[in-house]
Protein backbone atom coordinates (compact mmCIF):
# COMPACT_ATOMS: atom_id res chain seq x y z
CA UNK A 1 0.00 0.00 0.00
CA UNK A 2 1.64 3.22 -1.18
CA UNK A 3 1.72 6.03 1.36
CA UNK A 4 2.83 9.64 0.99
CA UNK A 5 4.06 11.97 3.73
CA UNK A 6 4.81 15.67 3.41
CA UNK A 7 7.47 17.39 5.48
CA UNK A 8 9.06 20.81 5.74
CA UNK A 9 9.03 24.08 7.66
CA UNK A 10 5.67 25.26 8.92
CA UNK A 11 6.69 28.91 8.84
CA UNK A 12 8.38 30.77 5.99
CA UNK A 13 9.24 34.46 5.81
CA UNK A 14 7.92 36.64 2.99
CA UNK A 15 10.18 36.75 -0.09
CA UNK A 16 11.89 33.50 0.89
CA UNK A 17 11.58 30.08 -0.74
CA UNK A 18 9.13 27.50 0.54
CA UNK A 19 10.64 24.01 0.38
CA UNK A 20 8.67 20.83 1.02
CA UNK A 21 9.40 17.15 0.56
CA UNK A 22 7.07 14.24 -0.05
CA UNK A 23 8.37 10.83 1.00
CA UNK A 24 6.86 7.84 -0.74
CA UNK A 25 6.70 4.49 1.02
CA UNK A 26 5.37 1.14 -0.12
CA UNK A 27 6.48 1.61 -3.72
CA UNK A 28 9.23 3.04 -5.90
CA UNK A 29 8.85 6.58 -7.12
CA UNK A 30 10.74 5.78 -10.31
CA UNK A 31 8.60 2.87 -11.47
CA UNK A 32 5.00 2.50 -12.50
CA UNK A 33 4.91 5.48 -14.81
CA UNK A 34 3.29 7.76 -12.26
CA UNK A 35 2.96 11.50 -12.08
CA UNK A 36 3.80 12.93 -8.63
CA UNK A 37 1.77 16.02 -7.80
CA UNK A 38 1.69 18.95 -5.43
CA UNK A 39 -1.65 20.54 -4.58
CA UNK A 40 -2.50 23.27 -2.09
CA UNK A 41 -5.55 24.48 -0.24
CA UNK A 42 -5.81 28.01 1.08
CA UNK A 43 -7.49 28.36 4.48
CA UNK A 44 -11.18 27.61 4.15
CA UNK A 45 -10.93 27.43 0.37
CA UNK A 46 -10.83 24.91 -2.47
CA UNK A 47 -8.00 22.92 -4.01
CA UNK A 48 -5.37 24.25 -6.41
CA UNK A 49 -3.05 22.02 -8.42
CA UNK A 50 0.54 23.31 -8.36
CA UNK A 51 2.37 20.91 -10.66
CA UNK A 52 3.81 17.46 -11.17
CA UNK A 53 7.04 15.64 -11.77
CA UNK A 54 6.83 12.53 -13.92
CA UNK A 55 8.74 9.40 -12.88
CA UNK A 56 11.18 10.19 -15.70
CA UNK A 57 11.90 13.62 -14.19
CA UNK A 58 9.93 15.77 -16.62
CA UNK A 59 7.73 18.42 -15.08
CA UNK A 60 4.64 20.50 -15.73
CA UNK A 61 3.48 23.42 -13.66
CA UNK A 62 0.28 25.39 -13.26
CA UNK A 63 0.72 28.47 -15.47
CA UNK A 64 -0.46 30.64 -12.59
CA UNK A 65 2.58 29.61 -10.52
CA UNK A 66 5.05 28.54 -13.20
CA UNK A 67 7.49 31.40 -12.72
CA UNK A 68 8.02 30.51 -9.05
CA UNK A 69 7.72 26.70 -8.91
CA UNK A 70 10.26 23.92 -9.17
CA UNK A 71 9.37 20.26 -8.55
CA UNK A 72 12.06 17.61 -8.57
CA UNK A 73 12.64 13.91 -7.89
CA UNK A 74 15.18 12.29 -5.59
CA UNK A 75 14.97 8.64 -6.52
CA UNK A 76 17.72 7.65 -4.08
CA UNK A 77 15.50 8.76 -1.20
CA UNK A 78 12.19 7.89 -2.88
CA UNK A 79 11.11 11.49 -2.48
CA UNK A 80 9.97 14.41 -4.55
CA UNK A 81 10.17 18.05 -3.60
CA UNK A 82 8.47 21.39 -4.10
CA UNK A 83 10.24 24.74 -4.13
CA UNK A 84 8.12 27.87 -4.33
CA UNK A 85 10.11 31.09 -4.48
CA UNK A 86 9.33 34.68 -3.50
CA UNK A 87 6.47 33.68 -1.22
CA UNK A 88 3.88 36.09 0.13
CA UNK A 89 1.03 35.74 2.60
CA UNK A 90 -1.08 34.50 -0.32
CA UNK A 91 0.99 31.31 -0.33
CA UNK A 92 -0.20 30.41 3.17
CA UNK A 93 -1.97 27.09 2.70
CA UNK A 94 -2.07 23.39 3.43
CA UNK A 95 0.19 21.67 0.91
CA UNK A 96 -0.54 18.12 -0.22
CA UNK A 97 1.35 15.66 -2.35
CA UNK A 98 -0.55 13.10 -4.41
CA UNK A 99 0.16 10.28 -6.82
CA UNK A 100 -0.86 10.01 -10.47
CA UNK A 101 -2.90 12.04 -12.93
CA UNK A 102 -5.97 10.70 -11.24
CA UNK A 103 -4.62 11.69 -7.80
CA UNK A 104 -5.56 8.42 -6.19
CA UNK A 105 -3.31 8.53 -3.10
CA UNK A 106 -2.69 11.66 -1.03
CA UNK A 107 -0.45 12.61 1.83
CA UNK A 108 -2.00 13.96 5.00
CA UNK A 109 -0.95 17.54 4.19
CA UNK A 110 1.31 20.04 5.85
CA UNK A 111 0.39 23.58 6.85
CA UNK A 112 2.69 26.37 5.71
CA UNK A 113 2.29 29.90 7.01
CA UNK A 114 4.07 32.81 5.36
CA UNK A 115 4.73 35.48 7.94
CA UNK A 116 7.56 37.60 9.25
CA UNK B 1 -8.05 26.11 -18.31
CA UNK B 2 -11.15 23.97 -17.94
CA UNK B 3 -13.50 25.48 -15.40
CA UNK B 4 -15.40 23.14 -13.09
CA UNK B 5 -18.60 24.19 -11.36
CA UNK B 6 -20.55 22.30 -8.70
CA UNK B 7 -24.09 22.56 -7.51
CA UNK B 8 -25.30 23.05 -4.96
CA UNK B 9 -22.49 24.78 -3.08
CA UNK B 10 -23.96 23.44 0.14
CA UNK B 11 -26.88 21.32 1.27
CA UNK B 12 -28.49 20.18 4.47
CA UNK B 13 -29.72 16.62 4.64
CA UNK B 14 -30.80 13.99 7.11
CA UNK B 15 -29.41 10.53 7.75
CA UNK B 16 -30.99 8.19 5.23
CA UNK B 17 -31.58 10.86 2.59
CA UNK B 18 -30.58 10.41 -1.03
CA UNK B 19 -28.12 13.15 -2.01
CA UNK B 20 -27.06 14.19 -5.51
CA UNK B 21 -24.25 16.59 -6.34
CA UNK B 22 -23.63 17.86 -9.86
CA UNK B 23 -20.34 18.85 -11.44
CA UNK B 24 -20.11 20.59 -14.81
CA UNK B 25 -17.05 21.15 -16.99
CA UNK B 26 -16.62 24.16 -19.26
CA UNK B 27 -15.69 21.80 -22.09
CA UNK B 28 -15.86 18.09 -22.72
CA UNK B 29 -13.59 15.95 -20.57
CA UNK B 30 -14.78 12.46 -21.63
CA UNK B 31 -14.88 10.54 -18.32
CA UNK B 32 -11.65 11.98 -16.90
CA UNK B 33 -13.24 12.94 -13.61
CA UNK B 34 -12.89 11.94 -9.99
CA UNK B 35 -14.90 12.66 -6.86
CA UNK B 36 -13.31 13.31 -3.47
CA UNK B 37 -14.58 13.57 0.08
CA UNK B 38 -12.82 15.87 2.53
CA UNK B 39 -13.45 16.12 6.25
CA UNK B 40 -12.13 19.03 8.35
CA UNK B 41 -8.39 18.84 8.92
CA UNK B 42 -8.01 15.82 6.66
CA UNK B 43 -6.73 15.20 3.15
CA UNK B 44 -9.19 14.59 0.34
CA UNK B 45 -10.11 10.93 -0.11
CA UNK B 46 -10.97 9.65 -3.56
CA UNK B 47 -14.40 8.02 -3.83
CA UNK B 48 -14.93 7.68 -7.57
CA UNK B 49 -12.57 7.60 -10.56
CA UNK B 50 -13.21 7.58 -14.29
CA UNK B 51 -16.54 9.25 -13.52
CA UNK B 52 -18.31 6.09 -12.40
CA UNK B 53 -15.81 3.58 -10.98
CA UNK B 54 -15.96 3.04 -7.24
CA UNK B 55 -12.65 3.29 -5.42
CA UNK B 56 -11.76 0.08 -3.59
CA UNK B 57 -12.97 0.18 -0.01
CA UNK B 58 -15.55 2.90 -0.57
CA UNK B 59 -19.11 1.98 0.44
CA UNK B 60 -21.46 1.07 -2.38
CA UNK B 61 -23.91 3.81 -1.37
CA UNK B 62 -21.61 6.15 -3.32
CA UNK B 63 -22.00 6.18 -7.09
CA UNK B 64 -20.96 8.39 -9.96
CA UNK B 65 -22.28 8.94 -13.44
CA UNK B 66 -21.86 11.18 -16.45
CA UNK B 67 -19.57 11.88 -19.35
CA UNK B 68 -18.53 14.87 -21.40
CA UNK B 69 -19.52 17.97 -19.45
CA UNK B 70 -22.02 16.88 -16.82
CA UNK B 71 -21.41 14.51 -13.92
CA UNK B 72 -23.18 13.49 -10.76
CA UNK B 73 -22.20 11.99 -7.43
CA UNK B 74 -25.01 10.23 -5.60
CA UNK B 75 -25.11 9.04 -2.02
CA UNK B 76 -28.04 6.63 -1.90
CA UNK B 77 -28.60 6.73 1.86
CA UNK B 78 -26.65 9.37 3.75
CA UNK B 79 -24.80 8.12 6.81
CA UNK B 80 -23.45 10.18 9.75
CA UNK B 81 -19.87 9.73 8.53
CA UNK B 82 -20.76 11.21 5.11
CA UNK B 83 -21.10 14.77 6.37
CA UNK B 84 -18.19 16.42 4.63
CA UNK B 85 -17.21 18.54 1.64
CA UNK B 86 -17.16 16.91 -1.78
CA UNK B 87 -14.99 17.98 -4.72
CA UNK B 88 -14.79 16.93 -8.34
CA UNK B 89 -11.49 16.92 -10.25
CA UNK B 90 -10.95 16.91 -14.00
CA UNK B 91 -7.67 15.52 -15.30
CA UNK B 92 -8.50 15.53 -19.00
CA UNK B 93 -6.26 18.49 -19.77
CA UNK B 94 -3.64 20.49 -17.94
CA UNK B 95 -3.81 22.10 -15.56
CA UNK B 96 -6.05 19.70 -13.65
CA UNK B 97 -8.83 21.67 -12.01
CA UNK B 98 -11.10 21.04 -9.07
CA UNK B 99 -14.67 22.11 -8.54
CA UNK B 100 -15.28 24.62 -5.74
CA UNK B 101 -16.80 21.99 -3.47
CA UNK B 102 -20.18 21.04 -2.04
CA UNK B 103 -20.55 21.03 1.72
CA UNK B 104 -22.99 18.45 3.06
CA UNK B 105 -24.15 19.11 6.60
CA UNK B 106 -26.76 17.85 8.99
CA UNK B 107 -30.30 19.15 8.72
CA of A75, closest CA in chain B: separation in Å? 25
pLDDT score at A70? 98
Confidence band of A43 (pLDDT split at 50, 70, 90): very high
Spell out the SS3 assignment of A47-98.
EEEEEEEECCCCEEECCCCHHHEEEEEECCCCEEEEEECCCCHHHCEEEEEE
Overall average pLDDT of the A91-97 stretch:
98
pLDDT score at A31? 82
* C-beta atoms of B96 and A103 within 8 A: yes
Q: Decide if pLDDT at A101 tops 90.
A: no
Q: Does B99 touch chain A (CB under 8 A)?
A: yes
pLDDT score at A24? 97
Overall average pLDDT of the A54-76 stretch:
95
Which residue of B46, B49, B87 is in closest CB contact with A46? B87
pLDDT score at A74? 95
* C-beta atoms of B55 and A104 within 8 A: yes
Overall average pLDDT of the B20-29 stretch:
98
Q: Does B98 touch chain A (CB under 8 A)?
A: yes
Confidence band of A64 (pLDDT split at 50, 70, 90): very high
Question: Which of B38, B96, B98, B101 to mutate: most A Cβ within 10 Å?
Answer: B96
Q: Decide if pLDDT at A81 tops 90.
A: yes
Chain B residues with CB inside 8 Å of A60's CB?
94
Which residue of B50, B87, B95 is in closest CB contact with A62? B95
pLDDT score at B54? 98
Measured in degrees and rounded to the nearest 5, phi and psi for residue B82 equal: -90, -5
pLDDT score at B39? 97
Q: B39-93 pLDDT, tens per residue?
A: 999 999 999 999 999 999 999 999 999 999 999 999 999 999 999 999 999 999 9
Cα–Cα distance, A81 to A19 (Å, whole number): 7
pLDDT score at B107? 85
Chain A residues with CB inside 8 Å of B89's CB?
47, 103
* C-beta atoms of A109 and B43 within 8 A: yes
pLDDT score at A18? 98
Q: A1-42 pLDDT, tens per residue?
A: 999 999 999 999 999 999 999 999 999 998 878 999 999 999
Burial of A76 (0-12, 13-18, 19+ CB in 10 A): exposed
pLDDT score at A32? 78
Amino acid sequence: QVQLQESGPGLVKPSQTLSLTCTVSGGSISSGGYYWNWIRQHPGKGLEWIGYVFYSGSTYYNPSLRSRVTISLDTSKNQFSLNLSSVTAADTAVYYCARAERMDVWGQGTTVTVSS
Amino acid sequence: DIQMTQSPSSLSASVGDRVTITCRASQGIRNDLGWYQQKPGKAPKRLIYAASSLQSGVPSRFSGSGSGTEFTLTISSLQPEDFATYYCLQHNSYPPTFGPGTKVDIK
